[in-house]
Amino acid sequence: MTAFTESVVEEAALVWLEGVGWQVAHGPDIAPDTPAAERSDYGEVVLPQRLRAALTRLNPALSAEALEDAVRRLTRPEGLDLLQRNRNLHRLLVDGVTVEYRAADGSIRGAQARVIDFDAPTDNDWLAVNQFSVVENKHSRRPDVVLFVNGLPLAVLELKNAAAGNATIWGAFQQLETYQAEVPALFASNALLAISDGVAARVGTLAAGREWFKPWRTVTGDALAGAHLPELQVLIEGLCAPRRLLDLLRDFIVFEDDGGRIVKKMAGYHQFHAVQVAVSETLRAAELHRTGQRAAEPAVRYEVGRTPGGAPGDRRVGVVWHTQGSGKSLTMAFYAGRIIRERAMGNPTLVMLTDRNDLDDQLFATFARCRDLLRQPPVQAASRAHLREQLGVAAGGVVFSTIHKFFPEEMGDRHPCLSSRHNIVVIADEAHRSQYDFIDGYARHLRDALPHASFIGFTGTPIELADANTRAVFGDYISVYDIQRAVQDGATVPIYYESRLARLTLLDSERPQIDLDFEEATEGEEVERKERLKTRWAQLEAVVGAERRLALLARDIVRHFEERCEALAGKAMIVCMSRRICVDLYREIVKLCPQWHDAGDERGAIKVVMTGSASDPADWQPQIRNKARREALAHRFRDPEDAFRLVIVRDMWLTGFDAPCLHTMYLDKPLRGHGLMQAIARV
């Protein structure tokens, strides 16, 4: 029986790479000072002959001087640190290199040099090298496998032996961390990093923590690979195959600007395939056709049970259901970037639609951080007039709006047609909600305004079986990534529920009058149902917000949270039934822990996040903040090192807000269905 060693894993990886189209070479055979040397010294991380040959082949009209300028820019990337250099090189790989050369008439001219042929993968040079030695700043390192495309190192695979007790997949991760610190030049053009111990395999990006290294579970389309296949084989065949690797490089890697810090992210397999299917379905729904382009890879909808394809021209792209916490907003950004680049769409306009202002702000912020992917800055409609102005422009764009801005000026009026173009796509977040009613709701006004637009919906919760309206507007599922799959992949974690009841009866004399919180909580309800709910809501709010009960609740939360943080450092969110209760509970908690309070936004361990106005009670005013101040608090709360660790909300931050350090939620508000699922997904 052959011993299971690290070299066996390495040899298997090379066999699988060769099987999907890579040429394979042994590092020592092409090392400097050998007859087949591919570089002049160990400090060189690019294979210059292959790079020059590829540039010459892909740019036959450019002079030798221009090509040398391209080589110089590719081998000497700009940037103060590795991640900045990686970002700059990524743009050169995707968009090409702007070069200068002297023309025959003596003038200096500019041109764009292609680095990679994304449409014809076989026209590129694919080389996998094992044991590739690199020396930099007196550090000598030898990664297990380096993948070169046109002479540029785009991927590094580090492998371990699962049979060795001290060699784990996370040992491979740690080695990659060491390589990045000691031989950073090797990673300037890096697209992905992969680790494996022969049993498990994970893939991630430069500078990502171990929690962001995820499995890749598909080879072709959305169909999950069989359990009999090694994870490393699935990763190589499903992601490192030339066609898919180029798709990933061009459309599924994003560099987000987060408060002056760059964060690199790549799509997971569920996002990658959902976008591929969604693009094909968009072309079908809009009845637009690719001309002279490759056919999309055949796809089967994961857990949907049928292949894509509704009626051509029906303008219903479909619904993408990806459970909360699995990167739905980023999937929407990847889809937007990909559909913008689709030639058949002819410079489309994308309308990003939500049904709440805070969701509009959150999604807009995500897209603004991904502007490189979109190739343009998104625009947030400030008013109905601004929205109509943006949609009246014949050119493309990414326009954000709440659905309410599509309501006509006068009740009962029909919305005027803003554009009859066929290359407009309405992308709706949380598409299951009742506001997207096609019969007499906002969707009808959308159709009036954009009669030939196609509609795609994204949701973090499943569409109810009785919900015919959502299907009427958007169509059926085209991609499903449910909670079970997300937990298995490590995209989300299991949620543990503990019932902690704070019982208290209410005296008749203590029952307050109905306030505006009821109106906000029942927005969208029919008038008759709203009237029936008033008495029940007022009584419940009064019971829940009684002073004696809140004092009891505050003691329980403080005790539990302090015990929880002794076991696991993190942050918590308290969800209350009304803004009044938020303010009163804050007061009770601060009585117990006065050191947690600070009037300044930049200090303090506990805050209330809610909206309000000058007409609200005086004791609410310290807790009411404008948009900029709320965003500053969100930035503090997301930082695991920041002292702000307990937030009280009514409904803000319950959807679309991501803070990995949030590990506990105290629910003191009636929630069910979609609202409950969205809330607990914050944890």
Number of domains in the chain: 3
Query: 210, 240, 264: which is the final residue of a domain?
Result: 264
**CA 421, CA 345: separation in Å to the nearest integer?**
11
Residues 307 and 279 in one domain: yes
Domain presence at residue 516: no
Domain presence at residue 534: no
Residues 40 and 153 in one domain: yes
Q: What is the mean pLDDT of each run of 10 residues along the chain (683 residues)?
A: 66 97 97 95 97 98 93 95 97 95 82 96 98 96 98 97 73 96 98 94 95 93 86 97 98 88 94 96 90 42 46 92 88 97 94 87 91 92 92 89 82 80 92 55 81 92 64 85 84 69 55 45 47 58 85 94 91 94 96 95 96 92 93 92 95 82 90 67 66
DSSP code per residue over 575-608: EESSHHHHHHHHHHHHHH-GGG--SSTTS-SEEE
Residues 637 and 652 in one domain: yes
Find the distance separating the first CA and the last CA of the chain, reported in whole Å: 48
CATH of the domain at 558: 3.40.50.300
So what's the pLDDT on residue 457? 92
Q: Which residue has the tokens 């990909």?
A: 338
Residues 29 and 172 in one domain: yes
The token duo for 611 is 């909206």
Domain presence at residue 362: yes
| 460: Cα separation from own chain's centroid | 13
Domain presence at residue 135: yes
Residues 156 and 28 in one domain: yes
Domain presence at residue 539: no
So what's the pLDDT on residue 406? 86
So what's the pLDDT on residue 516? 46
- The CA–CA distances, whole Å, from 120 to 144, 154, 242, 344 equal 28, 18, 10, 18
Residues 166 and 257 in one domain: yes
Quick one: 346 exposed, middle or buried, by C-beta within 10 A (0-12, 13-18, 19+)? exposed
Instruction: Decide if 255 contacts 264 (C-beta within 8 A).
Output: yes
**CA 557, CA 647: separation in Å to the nearest integer?**
12
Domain presence at residue 217: yes
User: Which residues constitute the domain of residue 601?
Assistant: 545-680
**CA 555, CA 570: separation in Å to the nearest integer?**
19
So what's the pLDDT on residue 524? 45
Residues 290 and 217 in one domain: no
Residues 120 and 150 in one domain: yes
Entry pTM: 0.81
Residues 298 and 213 in one domain: no
CATH of the domain at 150: 3.90.1570.50
So what's the pLDDT on residue 542? 76
**CA 564, CA 171: separation in Å to the nearest integer?**
30
For strand 379-380 and strand 397-402, is the pairing parallel, antiparallel, or unpaired? parallel
Residues 156 and 290 in one domain: no
The pair phi, psi for residue 226, each rounded to 5°, is -65, 150
Domain presence at residue 535: no
Query: 264, 283, 307: which is the final residue of a domain?
Result: 264
Question: What is the amino acid identity at position 6?
Answer: E
So what's the pLDDT on residue 273? 96
Residues 280 and 232 in one domain: no
Residues 82 and 94 in one domain: yes
Query: 220, 248, 264: which is the final residue of a domain?
Result: 264
Q: Is 86 left (phi over 0), alpha (psi -120 to 50) or beta?
A: alpha
Domain presence at residue 57: yes
> If we measure between CA atoms, which residue out of 367, 413, 369, 409 comes closest to residue 387?
409
